[in-house]
Amino acid sequence: MKNLVIIPARGGSKGIPRKNVRIIAGKPLIKWSIEHALDSGADRVLVSTDDDEIAEVALKSGAEVPFLRPSNISGDLATTESALIHALEWLEENENYVPDNVILLQATSPIRKKGAIDEAVSQMLEEGGDSLLSVSSFEHFLWRDKKLPIASYDFKSRPRRQDLDPDQLSFVENGSIYVTKLNVLMANKNRLGGKICLYVMDDVSKYEIDTQLDWVICESILTAVGSGGLV
């Protein structure tokens, strides 16, 4: 079974300029995810980018960068799926390479425990899934609709967090790992489809970098833990 990791990385990040190659805890941000992918059982690790500097860093980190992504799918409105589909079509057309499963890692999620990627793939296959996303458990109480507030729990009988039944837990999509069967991805033009599985990650892996505060938090964790972010 062929498992392909794709790490999309645009050069035009707005929230934190040049964040994919910015040094965090001693390494370029994208290198953390590349190292996690190389440590997994995936047979290929590819970075899809439109940026020469990101491509150079990715190559030096051990990833493949067989092309530069076209500008028409690299702008602010471009979807991650467009990058995935472009990479898959390029590989089939130019190398006759067709994977069974596509593993999407986002460079903005630099914290993953050792073995997490392989666990996610194995879980999807064992559960007979077509796609999988990583999530973090959410044990807090939710309210929605400011005008007519509605609670996600019975506030008249407020439960203690430690007494929550597993079936009462909610989960937050953390953006770290996605696994999709190739035929499902190409048919739906979406990373999720068919029977969807949830891979629950530990609490420390929930952080993804969108703001400067996220950066500070992740850098503190990576610096404290070390070991390539494999916690």
Q: Is residue 115 part of a domain?
A: yes
Q: Angle 29-38/52-60 helices, nearest 10 degrees?
A: 40
* Cβ 2 vs Cβ 196: under 8 Å: no
Q: What is the mean pLDDT of the chain?
A: 91
Cα torsion for 223, 36, 137, 82, to the nearest 10°?
Answer: 120
Distance (Å, whole) CA 69 – CA 86: 8
Residue 34: inside a domain: yes
Rounded CA-CA distance 137/53 in Å is 36
pTM above 0.85, yes or no: yes
Taking a C-beta distance cutoff of 8 angstroms, is the pair 51, 107 a contact?
no
How many residues belong to the chain?
Answer: 231
| Residues taking part in catalysis | 158
| Tens digits of residue pLDDT in 14-45 | 779 899 999 999 999 999 999 999 999 999 99
Cβ-based neighbour number of residue 34 at 10 Å: 26
Partnered with residue 45 across adjacent β-strands are 5
* Residue 118 within a domain: yes
Q: Is the pLDDT of residue 228 over 80?
A: no
Tally the domains of the chain. 1
The answer as to whether 141 is a domain residue is: no
The residue range of the domain holding 115 is 3-136+173-229
Angle between the 29-38 and 116-126 helix axes, to the nearest 10 degrees?
A: 50
pLDDT of residue 75: 86
Q: Considering the domain boundaries, does residue 165 fall inside one?
A: no
CA quadruple 180, 99, 3, 102: dihedral, nearest 10 = -30
Residue 7: how many other CB atoms lie within 10 Å: 24
Residue 156 lies in a domain: no
CATH number at residue 186: 3.90.550.10
Position with higher pLDDT, 72 vs 166: 72
